[in-house]
Homo-oligomer: A and B are copies of this chain.
Amino acid sequence: MSTNSRFAVAVHVLSLMAWSGEEPLKSEQVAESVNTNPVVIRRMLLDLAQAGLVVSQTGSLGGSRLATDPAKTTLLDVYQALEYGGVFSLHRQPPSRDCPVGVNIETVLGEVLQEVDSAVELVLKNITIDDVVQRLKPCGTLTSVKNPRVGKALGKALGKSNGKVAKVLRTA
């Protein structure tokens, strides 16, 4: 088990943003839904921004929103954004080179683990954020967001509407 909820939280965050559409979400709001601290969310958003999945903006109308079409963003993109190193790890300390098993086990295991990772990636590649959101809807209440006030820089960054160009906007 990878006693680590980063993947689950990342999918949660992106689903929230897909759900809320154009409206940028503040780390505070996201943290409330995820039930954690806003800084934990901001740290994760940095990873997701670095992978080009979200854009964020500082300032009073700031927040984060998706940078991509949720119907084209797969869970594999999310997985890779978090830089997991594979499902299993090899030995911490290299095995004995004086033992016929030890000297080759890492090579053989590496091939096996590659097969495992490929299988995981194949599954993740076939599920999109939009799929997740669709599967959330049958159970949940629908919210509609009217005329969200969007920071000009963020709107511009995503090729939307109005306003002056922001000085800096990190997309990757």
Residues of A within 8 A of B (CB): 1-5, 7-9, 11-12, 15-16, 19, 32-36, 75, 84-96, 99-109, 111-112, 115-116, 119-120, 122-124, 127, 132, 135-136, 139-143
Contact = CB atoms under 8 A, between A and B. Distances in A.
A36 B36 CA distance: 38
A102 B1 contact: no
For A85, A88, A96, the residue with the greatest tally of chain B CB atoms inside 10 Å of its CB is: A88
A99 B1 contact: no
Nearest to A2: B2
Nearest to A18: B101
A92 B5 contact: yes
A91 B2 contact: no
A77 to B, nearest CB: 14
Contact of A11 (B11, B105, B122, B140): B105
A8 B85 CA distance: 15
Nearest to A83: B1
Contacts of A33: 95-96, 99, 101-102
